[in-house]
Amino acid sequence: MRIDLFELERSQSIWENTVEYNLTESGLHPFTMRELLDPHEIEALVDLPLGYGHTEGEPALREAIAARYPGAGADNVLVTTGSSEANMLAVMSLLDNGDEAIIITPNFMQLPGLAKALGAKVHQVPLRLSGSRWMLDLDEVARAITPNTRLISVCNPNNPTGGVLSADERSGLALLATRHGIALHADEIYRGAELAGPETETLFAAAPAGVITGGTAKAMALAGLRIGWIVSSKDIIEKAMQRQDYTTIGSNALGQRIALFALQPEKRARIVARNRRLLARNLDQLSRWVAVRSAIFSWVPPQAGAMAFLRYDLPVSSDDFCRRLRETQSVFAVAGSWFGMEGHLRLGIGGEPDHFRDALQRIDRFLQDEFATA
Ligand SMILES: Cc1ncc(COP(=O)(O)O)c(C=O)c1O
């Protein structure tokens, strides 16, 4: 099978554990089991049988996930190995060779890469920066629809911009999908990592064929559990289950049980509150940093997700910027070109504030050394 190089993931896998400051992470600083779990929960894990269990996900976990999507029940949920598997199963369930998919970009490049690998034709419809937000042009989406379009896919809250669709954009997308009988996929893995205000509304019930993917990696700061999910209609869940029989059979029992603990409302509220504190502190540091470097950087601060997307004005490609920054300062950032957005950088803002401050100082040193500016 021919498949595009997934530059972001490949680069992270190669470099993220070799640097002093990894700013490529878009999720929050991970919890340890000791920080997250009570002694009796840890005790329960020690006695957990490590069999296959329920390959579609433990019933209690499916229920706890469904509770986060108004209108969904446990039957609308399939538990997966990370939300990457959820995305993969969604694409495998919705697209065939020769179909067309509309991908709202920028987006996690897994979606277009997989769609193309399956033989689908991909139309990208870009979010555009307008004033202080990233806007979706619904007319442009409508124009991209053909009789072969089977899927519209969006990442909301968005990676890498941290923007969130407005209520009108959400309902407009859902209307288009419904009117044309197209599945509407929303990767909502950053839902719950809002910097302020209410949680982003899910697109689950917005369209009859709404397909939501999510997981514990980002907003719940538990990437190592490798737990994700699809929430959709029962027939799409059934298709995804049949495809999961070929991918991983089911997700890991330990990760599922810890995810179940983490999703209990009290514990989840504690996770979200801690995350908001971290994000607020780092966003504040970054805002002050960008403000005094406005000759180089411009941005729209993120609404959700532990990342900031900066535009820069320097005579260097984003790939070279990130490579040199990594080689000379041991700071690893995401090149905009890995999202098809040259002239941009994505910086993770979900780490420990002192560590983040030090990383910004290293970037200053880099700007001074390479461009005589900081
Ligand atoms: C938008 C988006 N979806 C999915 C994933 C993959 O998540 P997981 O670690 O749950 O597989 C990522 C990881 O960066 C992401 O940014």
> What is the CATH number for 288?
3.90.1150.10
DSSP letter for 112, please.
H
How far, in Å, from the CA of 188 to the mean position of ligand 1?
Answer: 9
Does residue 1 sit within a domain? no
| Closest to 336 in 3D by CA, of 359, 361, 308 | 308
Measured between its terminal Cα atoms, the distance across the chain in Å is 46
Does residue 41 sit within a domain? no
Taking the CA atoms of 85, 91, 93 and 96 in sequence, report the sign of the dihedral they define: negative
What is the phi/psi pair of residue 319, to 5°? Answer: -65, -45
| Domain containing residue 219: CATH number | 3.40.640.10
pLDDT in tens, 159-215: 999 999 999 999 999 999 999 999 999 999 999 999 989 999 999 998 888 999 999
How far, in Å, from the CA of 98 to the mean position of ligand 1?
Answer: 26
How far, in Å, from the CA of 222 to the mean position of ligand 1?
Answer: 12
Does residue 81 sit within a domain? yes
Q: What is the pLDDT of residue 8?
A: 94
Does residue 352 sit within a domain? yes
The answer to whether the beta carbons of residues 214 and 188 sit under 8 Å apart is yes
Q: Are residue 187 and residue 75 in the same domain, yes or no?
A: yes
Question: What is the pLDDT averaged over residues 265-279?
Answer: 96
- Whether the CB of 155 sits within 6 Å of ligand 1: yes
Residue 130 tokens read as: 């307008």
Among 108, 153, 200, say which to mutate for ligand 1: greatest number of ligand atoms within 8 Å of CB.
Answer: 108
Q: How far is CA 274 from CA 4, 35, 53, 181, 195, in A?
A: 37, 11, 32, 41, 11
Q: Are residue 98 and residue 218 in the same domain, yes or no?
A: yes
- Whether the CB of 228 sits within 6 Å of ligand 1: yes
- Whether the CB of 159 sits within 6 Å of ligand 1: yes
Does residue 131 sit within a domain? yes
Q: Are residue 17 and residue 51 in the same domain, yes or no?
A: no
Q: Are residue 53 and residue 176 in the same domain, yes or no?
A: yes
Q: What is the overall mean pLDDT for the chain?
A: 97
Q: Are residue 247 and residue 275 in the same domain, yes or no?
A: no
Q: What is the pLDDT of residue 209?
A: 85
Q: Are residue 261 and residue 278 in the same domain, yes or no?
A: no
Q: How far is CA 222 from CA 109, 219, 260, 293, in A?
A: 21, 8, 12, 33
How does residue 374 score in pLDDT terms, banded at 50, 70 and 90?
Answer: low
Q: Are residue 272 and residue 338 in the same domain, yes or no?
A: yes
Q: Are residue 214 and residue 306 in the same domain, yes or no?
A: no
Q: Measured between alpha carbons, how far is 134 from 110 in angstroms, rounded to an integer?
A: 21
Q: Are residue 224 and residue 255 in the same domain, yes or no?
A: yes
Q: Measured between alpha carbons, how far is 324 from 345 in angstroms, rounded to an integer?
A: 13
CB atoms within 10 A of CB 146: 11
Q: Are residue 151 and residue 78 in the same domain, yes or no?
A: yes
Q: What is the pLDDT of residue 303?
A: 96
How does residue 372 score in pLDDT terms, banded at 50, 70 and 90?
Answer: confident
Q: Are residue 274 and residue 322 in the same domain, yes or no?
A: yes
pLDDT in tens, 9-67: 999 999 999 999 999 999 999 999 999 999 999 999 999 999 999 999 999 999 999 99
- From 265, 288, 322, the end of a domain falls on 265
Q: Which atom of ligand 1 is nearest to the CA of 8?
A: 14
Does residue 320 sit within a domain? yes
- Structural domains counted in the chain: 2
Q: Measured between alpha carbons, how far is 150 from 152 in angstroms, rounded to an integer?
A: 7
- Whether the CB of 334 sits within 6 Å of ligand 1: no
Q: Are residue 18 and residue 83 in the same domain, yes or no?
A: no
Among 218, 251, 307, say which to mutate for ligand 1: greatest number of ligand atoms within 8 Å of CB.
Answer: 218
Range of the domain at 242: 47-265
- Whether the CB of 162 sits within 6 Å of ligand 1: no
